[in-house]
Amino acid sequence: MRSFKSLAAATALGLTLSLSACGGGSSAGDSHKVAGLFSGPVTDADMNALGLEALKAAEEDGAETSYAESVAVPDIEGKLRQYVSSGYGVVWTHGSQFYDATAKVAEENPDVNFIAEFDGVPEDQPDNLWVIDRNFHTVFYPLGVLAANLTTSGKVGYLGGLSLPFSYAEAHALEQGIEDSGKKAELKSVWTGDFNDTVKATQFTSQLLSGGNDVIISSLNLGVMGAFEAMKSAPVGKSWITVKYTDKSSNDPEHYAATVLYDFTEPITEILSKIDDGETSGIYVMNFGKGTDVSIGDSVPAPAKKAAEKAVSDVEDGTVKVKLDQSEVK
């Protein structure tokens, strides 16, 4: 991405907002002022930390940046309007739960650029809104293949936080991967109701293990630390856990199986470059080699690792089409 020109010195990333909210119809903001709104703390070594890394990259390219962390869904519209009123020309909401509010505020402020996340292709996308399709389900497909090749009980557990459409899609992709593997295994999906609650994650993981599920596919943020805690009592070499967003293998190398890795720096950098070139709307689809990857742990048996790596390759070359099924998991 080419460097932004004619900017004042970048502000510190930890800037605290004390702005007054206002309605729509604002004048155009400075496209070199970029704000991020995050659902959790940026110290989570997880999704929100990745968001902060993307903002830092924008800052290094010359943008003035700011962010708000731990923003709840009911507060998102107000925060968006605060940044618009403060002259930010690009506002990014990090989390698909923020999409509807972002699209609404984008329509109210046609001269400001917005970036939102979605799972799939949204309808009636505003002309000043870029969408990052996180494509979670595609990256979870190889984990289904991996789990089917690791389990000895024939029981695999999926541990989610909130039961959102993307989470249903992940579970269905796991089922497709299990089925395509040719192995006999069934998937048990549960949700703790919170991505960051470590106590609930410990409880639910323990319940899954007690039910005979010897592979746990987690889709949590800070809550995954509770899942690791529960895994400590599980048999080594016979019980496995996978994680999401960042490599957390050091927490439990003996039970660690894999990570679905995410990097939001690449999509944000490319989108900001396109906005700088005058492209105010589009869809960036994350995929293998475009912000996502799968990393397999060193302790995973070679046959299971090979099967998972082949699944990644099959998705990359189009041999396998992973279905986007956001229907509720029964």
Helix/strand/coil for 255: coil
Q: Would you say residue 166 has pLDDT above 60?
A: yes
The strand pairing partners of 293, in sequence order, are: 261
Helix (H) / strand (E) element for 158: namely strand 155-160
Helix/strand/coil for 222: coil
Residues 6+ apart with CB under 8 A from 306: none
- d(CA 189, CA 208) in angstroms, rounded, equals 9
pLDDT at 18: 32
Contact in structure between 171 and 286 (CB atoms under 8 Å): no
Residues 6+ apart with CB under 8 A from 7: 32, 62, 63, 64
Q: What is the mean pLDDT of residues 258-282?
A: 97
List, for residues 110-160, the tens digit of each pLDDT value.
Answer: 999 999 999 889 999 999 999 999 999 999 999 999 999 999 999 999 999
Torsion sign across C-alpha atoms 202, 291, 120, 66: positive
* Domains defined for the chain, CATH in brackets: 30-133 (3.40.50.2300), 136-261+291-316 (3.40.50.2300)
Burial class (CB in 10 A: 0-12, 13-18, 19+), 45: middle
- Low-confidence winner among 26-40, 82-96, 155-169 (lowest mean pLDDT): 26-40
Contact in structure between 146 and 307 (CB atoms under 8 Å): yes
Residues 6+ apart with CB under 8 A from 126: 103, 106, 107, 110, 114, 281
* Amino acid, res. 160: G
The structure's pTM equals: 0.86
Residues 6+ apart with CB under 8 A from 10: 59, 62, 63, 64, 65
Q: What is the mean pLDDT of residues 98-111?
A: 97
pLDDT at 30: 73
Average pLDDT, the chain: 91
List, for residues 26-58, the tens digit of each pLDDT value.
Answer: 446 676 899 999 998 999 999 999 999 999 999
